[in-house]
Amino acid sequence: MEKIVTVNEVRKTYGKGNQKKTEALKGLSFEVEKGEFVGIMGASGSGKSTLLNLLATLDKPTAGKIALNQADVTKLSGNQLADFRSREIGFIFQDFNLLENLTAAENIAVPLSLQGVKPKEIKQRVKVIAERLSISEILSSYPAQISGGQKQRVAAARALITQPTILLGDEPTGALDSNSARDLLDTMEELNQQDQVSILLVTHDPFSASYCQRILFIKDGVIYQEVKREDQTREAFYRQILSILGNLEQ
């Protein structure tokens, strides 16, 4: 199988010079294959947010290597890094991060506009992804005029419009009610299974995590445990996740 993400002996230490050093990650290694839906879980302060920032190329590891789509991102910088990020990585954040003065269609189009794609092609690609995510009827609406669930679908469309190598979700259901959260997770699962979109989901929510095929539990900067859903029902996997989280907090 094709490796989309390779994390090899990654360490991250905060604090320079005479400052107190804090080791957030202590030699993490794992891989994500093309078409996988992987969850990252752990208590607050476990290192999962640090890991997400490194994978999103928003920060660099102190040691070790991170490769996305075969490219060593630890060696990229400046415009090269920004270009790589815009092409290869899609983000869905908890708080949507939509621009309030742009319509839904204009928000979705932002990544393509930044890449210099022609307006005619942008319009067509926005139309296609909006239909895929069932938000065609709100394309002319502004963020203030639509629901939280619709905002998150717009954010998902914006993340997917560039056809990224991997979709990173940072607690994407955190600001949603239960019905909207379920709708978003169903959509992400469909994108993963039908379109082979590779997804890495950072979450503290066991229900969201139950949609994943595999989960890495992080504790004190290392991988504490890894579990696979395999042929379990989502309900059974959910119960297994709850049990592991209970042990993590002990």
44: tokens are 């607050």
pLDDT tens digits, 113-168: 988 899 999 999 999 999 989 999 999 999 999 999 999 999 999 999 998 999 99
pLDDT at residue 78 is higher than 90:
no
At 18 the pLDDT is 82
pLDDT at residue 246 is higher than 90:
no
pLDDT at residue 20 is higher than 90:
no
Tell me if 237 sits within 8 A of 231, measured CB to CB: no
Confidence of residue 193 (pLDDT cuts 50, 70, 90): very high
Torsion angle defined by CA atoms of residues 71, 75, 81 and 83, in that order, rounded to the nearest 10 degrees: -40
Looking up residue 82, the CATH number of its domain turns out to be 3.40.50.300
When divided into structural domains, the chain yields a total of: 1
At 23 the pLDDT is 92
DSSP 75: G
pLDDT tens digits, 38-58: 999 998 888 998 999 999 998
Q: Where are the beta strands (DSSP E) in the chain?
A: 3-14, 22-33, 37-41, 63-68, 71-72, 89-93, 166-170, 198-202, 214-219, 222-228
Q: Among 215, 199, 196, which residue's Cα sits nearest to residue 207?
A: 215
Alpha helical stretches, state H, 71-147: 78-88, 104-114, 119-132
pLDDT at residue 248 is higher than 80:
no
At 250 the pLDDT is 64
Q: Among 75, 73, 136, which residue's Cα sits nearest to residue 105?
A: 136
pLDDT at residue 74 is higher than 80:
yes
Residues in Cβ contact with 83 at an 8 Å cutoff, skipping those fewer than 6 apart:
none
Within a 13 Å sphere around the CA of 106, how many CA atoms are in the beta-carbon half? 10
Which residue's structure tokens are 């942008």? 122
C-alpha to C-alpha distance for 204 and 71, rounded to whole angstroms:
29
Percent of the chain residues topping a pLDDT of 70: 99
The pTM is what?
Answer: 0.90
At 175 the pLDDT is 87
Domain range spanning residue 235? 3-248
179 class by beta-carbon count within 10 Å (0-12 exposed, 13-18 middle, 19+ buried): exposed
**Residues forming beta bridges with residue 170, ordered by sequence position:** 93, 202
